[in-house]
């Protein structure tokens, strides 16, 4: 498949929210979170050379650490981001998968095997290698904003799936999610429909969040590094659009400030637990690497 569409991510997260939680307010928050990871595309507000050299799409906003930060703001926004990344992880090397442990995955610079599956030279100062590197033939056939520059592939840092089949998986997620939403609305007719419509009409906070994200996306799509502008005459309005979008996002944060403060307060009570957990994970990783390296002084991970 090519990349997942925003409509697919949005409908899937809303469907999961309705089916598992049964509350429109939760489902809409999850949908909002599902839109956020793709803000790391090669839009005009992202430095072009920085992106071209390092391929930050599917990495910068597609990782567990950003989800953890979002969790403090709102757990359901974080869950929506997780569902977005879960769907992207179905994509193949050509579609670049997801780099879910960015930025730590960038610590590995070399692969044990090169793009031709031949053992590469191992500089004596480097000790940790990925087992192989991305296959250039597939990577060079990726979407323009996901291709690598140069003749040498980078280490295989990402999680890849099986979905190299046109748009079948994308459409399966989209229409399956829309079907689930329809089933939820009709399951307790007309109570669920009334619940959804009354919340959407009575609580306007969600509208501000969606409008903010939509304006930022539209601003970015008016001028992308990886394609020619679809509407060149509209390109100049990208600046006021992103300004208004960021202002709307700030206003949405202000409207939800009380909830955010409560979430941060609860998280701060478990700060020591977070520190200890991070320490244990680091120690475990170090032990695993030491056991793998052994006397060979280099490791394949």
| Residue 158 belongs to domain spanning | 6-269
What's the residue count for the chain?
A: 301
- On whether residue 288 sits in a domain, the answer given is no
- On whether residue 98 sits in a domain, the answer given is yes
Residue 301 is predicted with a pLDDT of: 47
Number of domains in the chain: 1
- On whether residue 145 sits in a domain, the answer given is yes
Please state, in angstroms and rounded to a whole number, the distance separating the CA atoms of residues 296 and 143. Answer: 39
Please state, in angstroms and rounded to a whole number, the distance separating the CA atoms of residues 164 and 95. Answer: 8
Closest to 158 (Cα-Cα) out of 150, 148, 167? 148
Q: pLDDT tens digits, the chain, 301 residues: what are they?
A: 456 689 999 999 999 999 999 899 999 999 999 999 999 888 888 776 666 667 788 888 999 999 988 988 889 999 999 999 999 988 887 777 899 988 888 877 777 776 666 777 777 776 667 767 777 777 777 766 667 666 666 777 888 887 665 578 888 899 999 999 999 988 888 888 888 888 888 788 889 999 999 999 999 999 887 777 778 888 899 999 999 999 999 999 999 999 889 888 888 888 888 889 888 988 887 787 677 665 555 544 4
Backbone dihedral angles phi then psi of residue 111, each to the nearest 5 degrees = -110, 155
Adjacent-strand bridge partners of 224: 43
Count of beta carbons in the 10 Å neighbourhood of residue 7: 14
Please state, in angstroms and rounded to a whole number, the distance separating the CA atoms of residues 4 and 91. Answer: 9
- On whether residue 243 sits in a domain, the answer given is yes
- On whether residue 276 sits in a domain, the answer given is no
Q: H helices within 188-301, ranges in order?
A: 191-202, 205-221, 238-255, 257-269, 271-293
- On whether residue 29 sits in a domain, the answer given is yes
- Residue 110 and residue 120 in contact, taking contact as beta carbons nearer than 8 Å: yes
Q: Encoding tokens for residue 160?
A: 């890849």
- Residue 22 and residue 181 in contact, taking contact as beta carbons nearer than 8 Å: no
- On whether residue 250 sits in a domain, the answer given is yes
Distances, alpha carbon 229 to alpha carbons 3, 99, 221, 224, in Å: 19, 28, 8, 7
Distances, alpha carbon 267 to alpha carbons 46, 205, 259, in Å: 31, 24, 12
**CB within 8 Å of 149: residues ≥ 6 apart:** 52, 53
- On whether residue 75 sits in a domain, the answer given is yes
Burial class (CB in 10 A: 0-12, 13-18, 19+), 189: exposed
Residue 52 is predicted with a pLDDT of: 65
Residue 292 is predicted with a pLDDT of: 66
- Predicted TM-score (pTM) of the model is 0.84
């Amino acid at each position: 498949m090519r990349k997942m569409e925003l409509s697919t991510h949005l409908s899937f997260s809303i469907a999961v929210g309705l089916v598992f939680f049964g509350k429109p307010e939760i489902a809409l928050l999850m949908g909002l979170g599902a839109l956020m990871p793709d803000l790391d595309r090669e839009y005009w507000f992202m430095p072009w050379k920085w992106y071209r050299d390092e391929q930050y799409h599917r990495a910068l906003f597609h990782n567990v650490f950003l989800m953890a930060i979002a969790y403090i703001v709102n757990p359901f926004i974080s869950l929506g981001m997780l569902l977005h990344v879960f769907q992207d992880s179905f994509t193949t090397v050509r579609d670049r998968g997801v780099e879910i442990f960015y930025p730590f995955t960038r610590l590995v610079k070399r692969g044990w095997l090169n793009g031709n599956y031949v053992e590469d030279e191992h500089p004596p100062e480097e000790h940790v290698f990925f087992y192989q590197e991305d296959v250039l033939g597939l990577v060079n056939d990726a979407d323009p904003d996901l291709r690598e520059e140069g003749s040498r592939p980078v280490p295989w840092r990402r999680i890849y799936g099986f979905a190299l089949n046109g748009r079948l998986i994308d459409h399966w997620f989209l229409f399956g999610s829309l079907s689930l939403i329809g089933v939820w609305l009709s399951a307790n007719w007309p109570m669920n429909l009334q619940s959804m419509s009354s919340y959407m009409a009575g609580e306007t906070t969600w509208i501000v969040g969606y409008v903010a994200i939509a304006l930022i996306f539209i601003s970015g799509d008016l001028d992308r590094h990886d394609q020619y502008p679809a509407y060149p005459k509209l390109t100049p309005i990208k600046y006021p659009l992103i300004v208004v979008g960021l202002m709307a996002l700030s206003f949405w944060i202000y409207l939800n400030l009380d909830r955010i403060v409560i979430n941060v307060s609860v998280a701060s009570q478990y700060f020591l637990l977070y520190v200890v957990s991070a320490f244990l994970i680091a120690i475990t990783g170090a032990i695993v690497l030491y056991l793998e390296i052994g006397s060979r002084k280099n490791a394949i991970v």
